[in-house]
Copies of this chain bind each other. A is one copy, B any other.
Amino acid sequence: MIYITRRERFNAAHRLFRADFTDEQNLEVFGKCSNPNWHGHNYELFVTVKGEVNPETGFLINLKLLSKLIKEKITDQIDHKNINVEVPFMQGKFASTEVLAMAIWDELEQPIAALDAQLHCIKVFESENNFVEYYGS
C-alpha cells in the first residue's frame, strides 16, 4: 500500500451564515466570516489516494489523470466562484472548510475508484494557519 498526493489550488468567495439567522445573529455566531458582502480565500486542496503500485507502469495512479479529474470535478466548478451561490456540489450546504472537504470527498470518491485507486484523504487549507482533513465516514 502506497499513498500519493496531488495538490491543486482554487480562489473563491464565501461567507459563513445561516439563512434562518439575522445578519446580527450571524455576526454573533460567525464573526467577520459572516460579512454579507462576502470575503474570499486562496484555497489549497491536497487529494491523497492509496493503493498498490502497478507492476506494469511503476505507478499507483497516473497523476495526469488524477489532476485532470480533480480539475473537471472540483476546480472547474469552484475556482473564481462564490461557494455559497454557484458551486453545484455545495448547493444548500454550509460554506465552512469542514463541509467543503466532505463535499469534495463525495465528488471524488467514485471517479477515483474508477481509476483503480482508493481515495484516502481530502485536505483543504483555507489559510496558512487553518486546514481540515477528512478521511471519509
Distance of A128 Cα from B94 Cα, bound (Å): 27
Which residues of B have CB within 8 Å of A59? 96, 98
Q: How many copies does the complex hold?
A: 6
Taking each of A31, A37, A129, which has the highest tally of chain B beta carbons within 10 Å of its own beta carbon? A37
CB distance from A9 to the nearest CB of B (A): 8
Which of B5, B42, B98 makes the CB contact (< 8 A) with A53? B98
A contact patch SS: mixed
A37 touches B81 (CB 8 A): yes
A residues 58-90 near B (Cβ < 8 Å) are 58-60, 63-64, 79-82, 85-86
Which residues of B have CB within 8 Å of A41? 11, 40-42
